[in-house]
A and B are shown apart, each in its own frame.
Chain A
Amino acid sequence: GIQVEQSPPDLILQEGANSTLRCNFSDSVNNLQWFHQNPWGQLINLFYIPSGTKQNGRLSATTVATERYSLLYISSSQTTDSGVYFCAVYHGGSYIPTFGRGTSLIVHP
C-alpha cells in the first residue's frame, strides 16, 4: 500500500512563531486532506487539497502532487494550535483516506 510520511514527528514552538509541516507520499494520489486532532481527540478538517495552494486565516497548505508532497504552514502560532496534525491521502481506486503518523505540535505561551 501507499506510504505516508510526516515530518517532523514532534515540534515545540513559542507563541507567535511560524512553522512548516511536511507530508510525503510514495505514490500518486487522487486527493489529500490535512486534519488537526485537538487534545480531546476530535479530528478537525483543515484542508481538502489535491493540488495547488489554499489559505484559511493563519493556515495555508500546498500540495505538489507530481513531486508527491504536501506542506502545511502555520503562521503566528497560538496555544490553541497545539495538538496533532495529520495528513491523509486518497490513493488509487479505493478512495479511502490513508493516514500518516502525524506531527505533534506544542505551542507554549
Chain B
Amino acid sequence: EAGVAQSPRYKIIEKRQSVAFWCNPISGHATLYWYQQILGQGPKLLIQFQNNGVVDDSQLPKDRFSAERLKGVDSTLKIQPAKLEDSAVYLCASSLERGQGNTEAFFGQGTRLTVV
C-alpha cells in the first residue's frame, strides 16, 4: 500500500513570495490533515478535511495561508505572501475515517520550507 505522498521535498523562497505544497493521501482515506512543524517542536495542526469539506481550520492563518481539497483526494496548501517565521516542515497526514471509526493517522515525508 502506497503511503502519503508530498511534493516538493524542499523549497527555498524569498519573503513575500508565494509557495504551494501538494499532498496525495493514502487511497480511500477520507480525512486529510496539514500540520506545521517548527524546528524543536511537535507538529501543529493547520487544517483538517473530511472528504472535500473543511472540518477545522481554526489555527490556519487565513490572511496568508489557504488550502483546498477539491475532489476529496489530493490537497494543496498555499502560502502567499511568505514570512520568515513560516520556515518549517509542512506535513500532510491522512486517516481512514473520523469520529468513532479508525482514526489512525499516517504521515508523509513533509516539505521543508526555508524563507530567506
A99 lies within 8 A of B110 (CB): no
A68 to B42, CA, bound (A): 19
A95–B99 contact, CB under 8 A? yes
Complex contacts, A94 vs chain B, CB 8 Å: 48, 55-56
B21 contacts the other chain (CB 8 A): no
For the complex, give the distance between the alpha carbons of A96 and B60 in Å. Answer: 14
Do the beta carbons of B33 and A96 come within 8 Å of each other?
yes
Encode A17-56 as 1/0 by CB contact (under 8 A) with B: 0000000000000110101000011110100100000000
Does A60 have its Cβ within 8 Å of any Cβ on chain B? no
Asked if B44 lies at the interface with its beta carbon under 8 angstroms from chain A, I say yes
B50 to chain A, nearest CB (A): 9
Q: Could you tell me if B56 and A90 are in contact, using CB atoms closer than 8 angstroms?
A: no
CB proximity of B57 to chain A, nearest CB, Å: 11
Q: Is A106 an interface residue (CB 8 A)?
A: no
Within 8 A of A (CB), among B51-89: 55-56, 89
Binding site for B on A (CB under 8 A): 4, 30-31, 33, 35, 40-43, 45, 48, 86, 88, 90, 94-102
- B: residues with CB less than 8 A from A are 31, 33, 41-45, 48, 55-56, 89, 91, 93, 98-99, 103-107, 109-110, 112
